[in-house]
């Protein structure tokens, strides 16, 4: 058995219901979901959109290989209405790197393995850049260490918040 950590999210349609369905499908197709965070809302990352995203971290046991997990994630996304062609058209129209979506499931970790193939990069390469990933990740596993950096989820979140802090945000201001 391997332990896989997934991030589910979306900002179009009935996201709450879709995330619940995603959790059920993950439980059935990937393996038993052991823990899940609350749902967290955040502004879109890397593009502008009118609706907030909801995201949730899930931890599951699996007998599937990393590629089989990725295949299952893709099937679940399609079953829950993800339309990558429409997303691509929106990205081309706006010039943005990302677009709104009904559902997105990312593989954050697969045990402590480091995987870098054309299909799959684990740990997810942008974990440390995204508060919407780190906040729910910290809820379920604050002390989870990133296999490349050695930082815990809590340390990554603190580093990101320090990086994003503006000088005028400091409590000790000169007057």
Q: Which residues of 18-36 are buried (b: 16+ CB within 10 A; e: fewer)?
A: bbebbbebbeebbbebeeb
Q: Domain coordinates of the chain in residue numbers? A: 2-128
Confidence of residue 37 (pLDDT cuts 50, 70, 90): very high
Q: Where do we find the tokens 């995987």?
A: 115
Which pLDDT tens digit goes with each residue over 80-136? 999 999 988 988 988 888 888 999 999 999 999 999 999 999 999 999 999 999 999
**Tokens read off for 75:** 């099937």
- Distance from C-alpha of 29 to C-alpha of 66, rounded to nearest angstrom: 13
CATH code of the domain occupying 2-128: 3.30.70.560
- Distance from C-alpha of 76 to C-alpha of 84, rounded to nearest angstrom: 13
């Amino acid at each position: 058995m391997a332990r896989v950590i997934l991030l589910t999210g979306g900002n179009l349609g009935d996201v709450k219901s879709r995330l619940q369905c995603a959790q059920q499908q993950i439980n059935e197709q990937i393996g038993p979901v052991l823990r899940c965070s609350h749902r967290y809302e955040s502004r879109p990352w890397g593009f502008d959109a009118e609706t907030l995203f909801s995201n949730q971290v899930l931890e599951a046991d699996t007998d599937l290989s990393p590629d089989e997990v990725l295949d299952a994630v893709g099937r679940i996304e399609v079953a829950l209405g993800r339309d990558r062609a429409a997303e691509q058209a929106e990205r081309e129209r706006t010039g943005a790197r990302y677009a709104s979506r009904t559902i997105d499931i990312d593989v954050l970790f697969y045990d402590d393995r480091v995987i870098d193939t054309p299909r799959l990069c684990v740990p997810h390469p942008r974990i440390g850049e995204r508060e919407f990933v780190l906040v729910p990740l910290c809820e379920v596993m604050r002390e989870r260490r990133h296999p490349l950096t050695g930082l815990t989820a809590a340390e990554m979140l603190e580093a990101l918040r320090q990086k994003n802090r503006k000088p005028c945000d400091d409590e000790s201001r000169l007057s």
